[in-house]
Structure 1
Amino acid sequence: MMLVGKKKRTYLLMVLFSCFGVLVFTASSVWAGDYVGTKACADCHEEQFTQFMKHSKKAHSWKSISVMADDLTTEEREGCYECHTTGHGKGGFVSYEQTPHLADVGCETCHGPGRAHVESGGDPETIQKTPTLESCQTCHNESRIGAFGFKPLIHSGAH
């Protein structure tokens, strides 16, 4: 009888650990995407980071959302996230609580996800050095040009 109890306990522990592993994997996948956040760029690109944080409105775009959030529906907020955060809907920003390091428009919005670039020690082949006009037009398109005063790639990040 004791043997059955041990087997049952072992089985329950295996199930428990399996469930825990799934939960840990699921929770960490929010943080383990290909986006690392703008601060990860600062170590190697200090001058660009400083200029971007000081001069770019994009670097503080979460403020626009937080000011209006209470007056927006969930669907409207999701629409804001597409252009006012980094990587929303692409494995990046999920929510301010889960991914605060991606809550503003950051380097990776224009240059692409940076995990491979950071992990490779800065291999230039792993990042988009020069953004394309098409990537800008994801947010800066004809329906928004007037509101943004859009000048493609001229003031894209003050760097």
Structure 2
Amino acid sequence: MRGKGFAVRIGVFLAALVVFGCSVADYGITDSAVYVGSESCKECHENEYSNYSKYSKKAHSARSVKLMATDLDPDELKECFACHATGYGKPGGFISFEETPHLADAGCEVCHGPGSLHAEDGDPELIKRKMTIEECETCHNAERVENFNFKPLIFGGAH
């Protein structure tokens, strides 16, 4: 369970959306959930988290971006963050290595969606459990395979 401070931060975030006339649905937040980072999954999903941490390249994707960042212009860097960070460009998602280091890698929530409600409640209905190949192709697509000479391992991530 999260502490009172976590609930207050989520409340403030949701209130800001309302004040500024924004809809959480417009920003891809599932059931008003926000990103919490893969560490939040570790307590209940030890095996999956362990496999992700040890075997998934996604768990260390920020390293690649940091290595190349100085050679990229801001637009190119944004393109990298879209696949190599968690929730980039979405409320509560990755902003920068300094502000949101817990979201710098492509974590569990890249595939499973924002996890705050699931992490708080534990209800499996509050997180995406079944992935589709189309969702994977957002990042693992022919253009990227050609540009970076890699072969995506669909469903070969953490579990």
User: Which category of TM-score, normalised to the shorter sequence, fits these structures?
Assistant: 0.7 to 0.9
Q: Distance in 2 between matches of 1:111 and 1:95?
A: 21
User: What's the % identity of the aligned pairs?
Assistant: 49
| Alignment-derived partner of residue 65 in structure 1 | 65
Q: Which amino acid aligns with 2:150?
A: F
* Displaced runs of 4 or more, over 2 A: 145-148
| Alignment-derived partner of residue 40 in structure 2 | 40
Per-residue CA deviation, residues 10-40 of structure 1 (Å, 9 max, x unaligned), is: xxxxxxxxxxxxxxx68xx8xxx70000000
Q: Distance in 2 between matches of 1:135 and 1:101?
A: 23
Q: Distance in 2 between matches of 1:148 and 1:132?
A: 20
Q: Which runs of 5+ in 1 are unaligned?
A: 1-24
Q: Distance in 1 between matches of 2:108 and 2:99?
A: 19
**TM-score, structure 1 length as denominator?**
0.75
Displacement of 1:142 after TM fit? 1.6
RMSD: 1.6
| Alignment-derived partner of residue 16 in structure 1 | none
**TM-score, structure 2 length as denominator?**
0.75
| Alignment-derived partner of residue 4 in structure 2 | none
Q: Distance in 1 between matches of 2:57 and 2:124?
A: 26
| Alignment-derived partner of residue 3 in structure 2 | none
Greater CA drift, 37-46 or 122-131: 122-131
Bigger radius of gyration among the two? 1
Q: Which runs of 5+ in 2 are unaligned?
A: 1-11, 17-32
| Alignment-derived partner of residue 96 in structure 1 | 97
| Alignment-derived partner of residue 87 in structure 2 | 87
